[in-house]
Amino acid sequence: MFKAAFFDIDGTLVSFNTHRVPESTIRAIDKLKSKGIKCFVSTGRHISKIDNLGDLDFDGYVTVNGGINYYQGQIVDTNPIDKADIRRALDIIYPDGHSEQPIAPFATAIVMIDDLKMNYVDASVEEIFRQLNFKCPELTDLRKYAEADIFQMISFFDCEAEPSVMNALPHCQSERWSPIFTDVVPKGQSKPRGMKKLCEIIGAEPSEVIAFGDGGNDTGMLQFAGMGVAMGNAQDTVKAYADMVCPSVDEDGIEWAVDKILSL
């Protein structure tokens, strides 16, 4: 008997093509709720950027990859980045110009409890935001927030630069789901971390959880859940972690999977 279902947003609940939740997915979530299964979002997005789910109502939210977690509208758990790592990241982003800088500065957005701020945008950043239907955060000098609680950095460095950057941030890890950018979060932080917190609140074991995802940062949630479902639009490396592969979000995949699971 399943007690909870967790859904990634981009490419899972929401189509990259239409930027909408298919009607079939709305029906599927209603079917889960009718069986007493609590439904949660599990995303890398900040709560203020979850603006593409229409009128869907969820019991809680795992946001910023498990960094800020909500149940019934209340924050129940947070996990900020070590401030020494924030200072090191700012040193990369704003080099002093006097010493050799082995790592090139990069565009980044910092994610706080109630706001996002960004240092600059270029063409590649604008294109990613367009694909995600994501409004660019306010541009400002991020050094003003060096002592703030920051839960995630959305950083636009590529896979080749990643080892050098992450070596400079020893208390952080990369949760990459795009070749162009990655979510930099505290070590040990992940969607499963937030899922575990919410499962403890509702009294659910991992074996009683269904998880739906399509991106590289969803592999942990697929492994955590008793029933991990990869979307048909996921990469094969993601599908390898799933117990079930359903059709894509544009092919009514979530409803297909929910009907299969509820018939077990």
DSSP string, 21-83: --HHHHHHHHHHHHTT-EEEEE-SS-GGG---STT---SEEEEGGGTEEEETTEEEEE-PPPH
| Alpha-carbon distances, residue 260 vs 4, 58, 137 (angstroms) | 16, 22, 40
User: Higher-confidence residue: 240 or 97?
Assistant: 240
Q: CA 187 to CA 116: how far, in whole Å?
A: 21
Tell me the whole-structure pTM to 2 decimals.
0.86
The percent of residues in the chain predicted with pLDDT above 90, rounded, is: 83
pLDDT tens by residue, 96-128:
755 556 677 899 999 999 999 999 999 889 988
